[in-house]
Amino acid sequence: MDKGEQTSLIRRLRKAEWRGRLRAYALIAPLFVFVALSFLLPLGSVLLNSVYDPVVPEGLPRTLRALAEWNGPRDQVPPEPVYAALAQDLKEAARAEKSGPMGGRLNIEETGLRSVFMRAARRVSAQEQGPWAPFFESADPAWAKPAIWGTIRNLESPEHALFFLSAVDMKRQSDGAVVRQSEEQRIHVTIYFRTLGVALTVTLACLALGFPIAYLLAHLKDKTANMLLILVLLPFWTSLLVRTTAWVVVLQKEGVVNALLQSLGIIAEPLPLIFNRFGVVVAMTHILLPFTILPLYSVMRQIPASYVRAARSLGASPSLAFWRVYLPQCVPGLSAGALLVFILSLGYYITPALVGGATDQLISHFIADNIGRSLNWGLASALSSILLAAVLVLYWAYDRVADVSNVRLG
């Protein structure tokens, strides 16, 4: 083969490889689009909402420019030109019906500012000309104090970290200083630790219950194991809401558990088994238990029984053969089950909401509350972003300790 033919052959091979790559990309394109639309796009929106907040900068552009030109100390009230700029902005906001969102945004930073802002916005349309400083002061004395102006200046940029500060129980005061929230408002850090604690407890409970069940299934005859495996999979065929509601019936004061214990004479009064942390852990453990059993069962089925017999024949006791030979081979299944249960537990919402008390709600409840009731999407996005970052950090630490490449789901 001469050099020309060799070059031609190389070109044809490269074209064939390129066509193969294009064909492969075309096959995965629908999946990529689906993942982008269902996961990456919402995730990007959450991250953007946590740092991007254009409500006040877009609604009060003249006011913010006047404040920047004045650039006075935050412990002083601005001069007349700033009040005049505010009046023009409020008139335009009233025509565009944007006063409500701006008042709501200011109220998130300082409770009570919405009524102050809306009162001035309603009155300013009837006022043709200044002086504007006395007009706003007569509308509400808060306009004669530096605090409200400091809050507006804190929101002068559409990109800020105020939502993240609130998510870690901090805030920026009207004077620009970053301080901790008041004692009664420091809830988010406690909720994060509560969520991690519940997730860890549920994970340990699932491992403690799932390991013997998976061991039993793995060492039974195939026909019997398959029949019992159907019972493990049966909860997946029932709605999560139905399973959680069933635990309400079982654990309530007049429920099955308390009635049985009282009939046996073990207790005289019903035990508080629901609307507390115990009920949350029990219900979540029951719901998430199959996610531990299935990976463990898959791994245990592939461990040759001859390994343990060989260890016994070499003089190892049954317990030593289990701990030194059998259990280390179960680590991939243990890792997969623990990882699945822990991550799923972090985002649980329905079960704690139904069987938990006021002090047992997890971070997902407060994310949903900020979206649905408080309409504070920025704080909800910041809470979600911190939860995502915590999961990634924990996953990285888990990988360093347990090596995720050894995890096997089936």
What CATH superfamily classification does 188-406 receive? MetI-like (1.10.3720.10)
Query: What average pLDDT does range 259-265 have in this prediction?
Result: 88
Give tens-digit pLDDT for 121-161: 888 887 777 788 888 888 888 998 888 999 999 999 999 99
Q: How far apart are CA 5 and CA 104, in angstroms?
A: 75
Mean pLDDT is lowest, of 176-180, 234-238, 256-260, 304-308, for 234-238
Give tens-digit pLDDT for 203-223: 999 999 999 999 999 888 888
Number of neighbouring beta carbons within 10 Å of residue 40: 11
Half-sphere exposure of residue 378, counting CA atoms within 13 Å on the CB side?
A: 19
The model's pTM:
0.83
Q: How far apart are CA 164 and CA 383, in angstroms?
A: 7
Give the pLDDT score at 286.
92
Give the pLDDT score at 201.
95
Q: How far apart are CA 200 and CA 360, in angstroms?
A: 14
**8 A C-beta contact, residue 234 and residue 294:** no
Task: Classify residue 322 as exposed, middle or buried by CB count within 10 Å of its CB (0-12, 13-18, 19+).
Answer: middle
pLDDT of 374 higher than 90: no
Per-residue tokens: 90: 């409020």
- pLDDT bracket for residue 4 (50, 70, 90): low
CA distances from 231 to 214, 227, 302, 334, 359 (A): 12, 7, 21, 21, 33
pLDDT of 341 higher than 60: yes
pLDDT of 72 higher than 90: no
Give the pLDDT score at 65.
92
pLDDT of 310 higher than 70: yes
Give the pLDDT score at 318.
85
The torsion angle over the Cα atoms of residues 284, 290, 293 and 299, rounded to 10 degrees, is -130
Query: What average pLDDT does range 256-263 have in this prediction?
Result: 88
pLDDT of 8 higher than 80: no
Residue type, 47: L
- pLDDT bracket for residue 322 (50, 70, 90): confident
Please indicate whether residue 40 or residue 5 has the higher confidence score (pLDDT).
40
Domain spans in the chain, listed from the N-terminal domain onward = 1-35, 55-184, 188-406
Mean pLDDT, rounded, of the chain? 87
- pLDDT bracket for residue 383 (50, 70, 90): very high
pLDDT of 300 higher than 60: yes
- pLDDT bracket for residue 264 (50, 70, 90): confident
